[in-house]
Amino acid sequence: MGAPPLHYAWRTDRGCVRDHNEDAVVVDRDMRVVIVADGIGGATSGEVASRLATIGVGEYLRSRKPPLLDRVAAARLVRDAVEDANRVIWEWAKRSARYRGMGTTVVLGLAGLGWLVVAHVGDSRLYRLRTGRLEQLTRDHSLIQEVVDNGFFPSIEDAERYGINAHIITRGLGGSKGVEVDVQELDLRSGDLYLFCTDGLSGMVSDAIIAQVLATPNGDLDELADTLVELARAGGGLDNITVALMRVG
């Protein structure tokens, strides 16, 4: 039995406020890999970090030929790839004052035969629409998520109303020589629709609206990606916006 066919669409947009784009996205159809990153560091540093992450992870995986049959080995591989990218970004930042303090989030998925392994660091997200229900599969490494997890507020919305900054990440690539990578293994089902995105989308468009867009009957993936970007821009476009869609079957 062959691996289920996958279909993709992706977009990255500067938004309405920023003068350059520090997001990056790589989709490799042959490897069945999606990688999204959101750089931090200002000037060109964030842009450098996000591209080091996406290109570096892609090259690391490509050189080791990801397995389609062994999800455990694939999970180890994506963790190793992200840890290697972290080391590269950290070394670049040490080498030059121009890049000091730069970093990036990353979220990536590697699809095999009936499964998807996911790795993420930071607050870029992975969502899944399955049988009409949208679920956030990653948990943000952010200050606002931590204060909610620790019981200071009952919800993200309450923390935001109190004034907690929703864009402060507590974990990213490049901040230190080592990084803790969250990795999970998921079952793929025909009809699943996966959304990888930066907070330029999730911070501008509610989950309810994202679900409504993705649930469009027989929706063309390119049109869905365009719609999500347009909604983020219409909501203010305060940050760079990156979306990557992957449909199973």
Per residue in 105-147, pLDDT (tens digit) is: 999 999 999 999 999 999 999 999 999 999 999 999 978 888 8
Is residue 192 a part of any domain in this protein? Answer: yes
Is residue 1 a part of any domain in this protein? Answer: no
Quote the percentage of the chain above a pLDDT of 70: 98
Confidence tier at 151 by pLDDT (50, 70, 90): confident
**What is the H or E stretch that residue 34 is in?**
strand 33-40
The pLDDT value recorded for residue 91 is 94
Is residue 70 a part of any domain in this protein? Answer: yes
Total structural domains in the chain? 1
Predicted TM-score (pTM) above 0.95? no
Confidence tier at 246 by pLDDT (50, 70, 90): very high
- CATH number of the domain enclosing 180: 3.60.40.10
Q: What is the CB-side half-sphere exposure of residue 241 using CA atoms within 13 A? A: 25
Is residue 232 a part of any domain in this protein? Answer: yes
Task: Report how far residue 57's alpha carbon sits from residue 62's, in angstroms, rounded to the nearest whole number.
Answer: 9
Is residue 26 a part of any domain in this protein? Answer: yes
Enclosing domain of residue 60: 6-248
Mean pLDDT, range 150-159, rounded to an integer? 81
Q: Whole-number mean pLDDT of the chain?
A: 93
Confidence tier at 160 by pLDDT (50, 70, 90): confident
